[in-house]
């Protein structure tokens, strides 16, 4: 079991502030990953997403799950150059509000591998309660090595 700090996360996926939705990876195994993001009142999306009652947008919760899945894929394909791709959503449910001061804990598990594409189940937990859950399709766009273009 491994963990990743913010510097390792930034070297693994291309996302940057204000769109980086993962602060730390706490468990990294071949088919499972756990990570989190601390939600602060200073998040830029709170300026326009219900400023008088700030709630993390549902789509950003899914983005956090997708970025966590990308970190899992990166660990599998770190020897090849590529970028992670969020390919689709089979289902998503939102069961609890996520607000400033909360910590979004992400849990992502691989359910099916289809070549370089994966079907994963993901959850956002806040204080042990499921805030969101979904099934996503993710993959990696690989780049040809430079000698392949000759």
Q: Which residues are marked as active site?
A: 49
CA angle centred on 85, ends 82 and 91, rounded to 5°? 155
Nearest CA to 34 out of 46, 22, 45 is that of: 22
Rounded CA Rg of the chain: 16
Give the separation between CA 8 and CA 55, rounded to whole angstroms. Answer: 28
Phi then psi for 73, rounded to 5 degrees? -65, -40
> Which is it for strands 103-114 and 129-142: parallel, antiparallel or unpaired?
unpaired
Give the separation between CA 72 and CA 32, rounded to whole angstroms. Answer: 7
- What end-to-end distance do the CA atoms of the chain give, in Å? 41
């Amino acid at each position: 079991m491994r963990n990743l700090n913010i510097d390792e996360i930034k070297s693994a996926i291309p996302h940057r502030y204000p769109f980086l939705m993962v602060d730390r990876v706490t468990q990294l195994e071949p088919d499972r990953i756990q990570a989190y993001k601390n939600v602060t009142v200073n998040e830029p999306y709170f300026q326009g997403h219900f400023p008088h009652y700030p709630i993390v947008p549902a789509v950003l919760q899914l983005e956090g799950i997708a970025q966590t899945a990308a970190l899992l894929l990166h660990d599998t394909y770190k020897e090849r150059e590529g970028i992670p791709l969020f390919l689709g959503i089979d289902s998503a449910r939102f069961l609890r509000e996520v607000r400033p001061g909360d910590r979004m804990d992400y849990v992502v598990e691989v359910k099916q591998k289809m070549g370089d594409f994966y079907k994963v189940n993901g959850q956002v937990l806040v204080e042990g309660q499921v805030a969101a859950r979904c099934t996503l399709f993710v993959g990696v766009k690989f780049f040809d090595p430079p000698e392949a273009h000759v």
